[in-house]
């Protein structure tokens, strides 16, 4: 059962009741310069009782007001003025609620340093925090994104991206770009063939983002204003999903330097050309390099962010081109021929 305060707030949020008859009476009053009983009834076709109800509506909506303090003469009011008069109490209520929210947040956030240094398994010393619940991770990331004012750096390894996830992220990223945030994104080359990613990249690049791709990337990484970063948490043997929140300045600087190293050697994401435009040689070298390490097809595919079937198709083509009978032989022969010499660009 709602409390009294909640009921009053709900009532205040209801739009004013303004019937077609009241609108007609208001128009007659506008035409005459003031409200007249006889004119209102005669020109709208309403009965005396109906005009009384319309007058009550117009007075409650502040569209009519007493003329010079008179109790029986009423003049029409500018609708904009009437709207302001009706909204003033509600706006005051909203301001008080905002002040209460700010006060609660200010008071509780004073305990943040104590929370980060608490001696429990979820928080590590040195500005690191482990968040295990995926919903909480997303909430904290969204908060960091909303507060970001200067720079966002993201590394997104792997190939396929959920179209629903891309759609959910788009307004957040565009909002940051509209605030003047510098936004740089690193994907893997294999994302260039996914239409939903190409559309997403085209939208954020148009808004000012910079997007590049590389053959191999480290784990997923999000960095906001070089003050807070998020990296995956793989420390639990049970495989519990989650993230490590990094706030320690030295570690943040290291992660930023790692990002810059990948950024320099990456290739701009071109959305108006073929999928693997300008990166096909990079993919070939990456496949050959991983084959030379003797890695299995599944591992090669995972590191390159592509399906195992697509990976095997690339491998078969390279083996035929090199005249190799095994994957390892293909990698070794490529090294002997100097085909891996440009791997580091």
pLDDT, tens digit, 9 for 90 and up, residues 198-214? 889 889 999 999 998 88
Domain with CATH 3.30.870.10 in the chain: 117-268
Q: How high is the pLDDT of residue 179?
A: 92
Total residues belonging to the chain: 345
What are the start-end ranges of the E strands in the chain?
A: 64-66, 74-76, 123-124, 128-131, 151-156, 182-188, 210-214, 221-224, 228-232, 243-246, 267-268
Please tell me the least confidently modeled range out of 37-51, 189-203, 269-283.
269-283
pLDDT (mean) for 71-84: 86
Domain with CATH 1.10.10.10 in the chain: 4-81, 280-336
Top-confidence residue, 298 or 66: 66
Q: Does the pLDDT at position 216 exceed 90?
A: no
CATH code of 117-268, in short, is 3.30.870.10
CATH code of 280-336, in short, is 1.10.10.10
Q: How high is the pLDDT of residue 106?
A: 75
The string of pLDDT tens digits covering residues 107-159 is 877 776 666 555 544 445 556 788 878 888 888 888 899 899 999 999 988 76
Radius of gyration of the CA atoms of the chain, in A: 32
Task: Supply the mean pLDDT for the chain.
Answer: 78
Whether pTM exceeds 0.95: no
How many Å apart are CA 218 and CA 257, to the nearest integer? 13
Q: How confident is the model at residue 84 (pLDDT cuts 50, 70, 90)?
A: confident
Q: How high is the pLDDT of residue 221?
A: 92
Q: How confident is the model at residue 297 (pLDDT cuts 50, 70, 90)?
A: confident
How many Å apart are CA 10 and CA 98, to the nearest integer? 17
pLDDT (mean) for 190-197: 79
pLDDT (mean) for 100-105: 78
Q: Does the pLDDT at position 180 exceed 90?
A: yes
**Residue 184 is encoded by which pair of tokens?**
């740089």
Q: How confident is the model at residue 228 (pLDDT cuts 50, 70, 90)?
A: very high
Q: How high is the pLDDT of residue 174?
A: 92
Q: Residues of 66-104 as b/e, b for ≥16 C-beta within 10 angstroms?
A: eeeeeeeebbbbeeeebeeebeeeeeeeeeeeeeeeeee
Top-confidence residue, 193 or 126: 193
How many Å apart are CA 52 and CA 41, to the nearest integer? 10
Q: Does the pLDDT at position 318 exceed 80?
A: no
Q: Which CATH number fits domain 4-81: 1.10.3720.10, 1.10.10.10, 3.90.1570.10, 1.10.1040.10?
A: 1.10.10.10
Q: Is residue 204 a contact partner of residue 171, using CB atoms and an 8 Å limit?
A: no
Q: How confident is the model at residue 222 (pLDDT cuts 50, 70, 90)?
A: very high
């Amino acid at each position: 059962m709602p409390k009294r305060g909640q009921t009053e707030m709900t009532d205040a949020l209801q739009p004013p009741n303004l019937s077609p008859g009241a609108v007609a009476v208001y128009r007659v009053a506008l035409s005459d310069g003031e409200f007249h009983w006889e004119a209102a009834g005669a020109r709208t076709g309403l009965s005396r009782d109906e005009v009384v109800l319309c007058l009550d509506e117009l007075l409650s909506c502040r569209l009519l007001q007493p003329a010079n303090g008179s109790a029986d003469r009423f003049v029409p009011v500018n609708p904009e003025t009437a709207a302001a008069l009706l909204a003033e109490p509600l706006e005051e209520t909203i301001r008080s609620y905002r002040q209460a929210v700010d006060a609660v947040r200010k008071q509780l956030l004073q305990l943040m340093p104590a929370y980060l240094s608490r001696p429990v398994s979820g928080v590590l010393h040195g500005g690191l925090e482990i968040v295990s619940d995926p919903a909480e991770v997303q909430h904290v990331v969204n908060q960091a994104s909303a507060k970001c004012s200067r720079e966002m750096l993201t590394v997104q390894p792997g190939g396929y991206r959920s179209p629903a996830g891309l759609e959910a992220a788009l307004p957040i990223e565009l909002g940051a770009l509209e605030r003047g945030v510098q936004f740089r994104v690193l994907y893997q080359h294999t994302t260039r063939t996914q239409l939903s990613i190409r559309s997403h990249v085209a939208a954020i690049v148009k808004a000012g983002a910079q997007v590049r791709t590389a053959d191999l990337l480290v784990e997923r990484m999000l960095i906001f204003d070089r003050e807070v970063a998020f990296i995956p948490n793989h420390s639990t043997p049970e495989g519990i999903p989650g993230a490590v929140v990094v706030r320690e300045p030295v570690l943040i600087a290291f992660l930023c330097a790692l990002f810059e190293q990948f950024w320099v050697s990456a290739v701009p994401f071109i959305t108006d050309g073929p999928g693997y435009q300008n990166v096909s040689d990079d993919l070939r070298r990456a496949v050959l390099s991983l084959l030379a390490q003797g890695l299995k097809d599944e591992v090669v595919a995972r590191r390159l962010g592509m399906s195992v079937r697509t990976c095997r198709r690339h491998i078969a083509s390279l083996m035929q081109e090199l005249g190799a009978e095994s994957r390892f032989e293909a990698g070794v022969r490529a090294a002997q021929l100097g085909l891996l010499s440009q791997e580091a660009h």
